[in-house]
Structure 1
Amino acid sequence: MQKTEQKTILFLDFDGTLAEIRDTPGEVYLEKNQWMILEHLSIRHSLFVVSGRSFNDIQKRVPETLTGIAGDHGAVRRFGKDTFVISE
């Protein structure tokens, strides 16, 4: 029987999980080592960061190598190079 490689998919929240919650949201950034860990993990695994922040804001705060990003409480999503907007 041939062994197949399974790929892990991780969905991570930004504020309060990857980064500390602060009184001034604009001052919240990943530490350099956190950034490097996410880049390294994204080589072998599918990583998504989700946030209530605006999509434009969150995409500046995480590596481009991630599989996907969801901002605006999930209304705007990037998967690979494609961006999708969910309108009501």
Structure 2
Amino acid sequence: MENLIAIEVNGLTLRGMSHKPKVNNLSKYPIVIIFHGFTGSRVDGNFLFVRFARELSRQGIGCVRFDFSGSGESDGSFTEMTFIL
């Protein structure tokens, strides 16, 4: 099952997609979080992230992929994007 997700962070909305595997009677399952690269998006030009997430789901593994602030469909400006270590 695929669902759109939206998470508000510092007044900006990050948008993404969750992929829930079809697992009978299980409330817990492993999950992978996909982080796109610099200037990328959760979809990727060749839909590699989408295909990978769907394959994980078929294998019983959940997945979340999202756009960083200023990328893809998330709010914000890419010029204001920063990584905090």
Q: What interval of TM-score do these two structures reach, taking the shorter chain for normalisation?
A: 0.3 to 0.5
The structure whose residues are more often strand, as a share, is: 2
Which protein, 1 or 2, shows the higher relative CO under an 8 Å CA cutoff with sep ≥ 6?
2
From the two aligned structures, give the one with the greater helix fraction: 1
Question: Could you state the TM-score of these two structures normalised by the residue count of structure 2?
Answer: 0.34
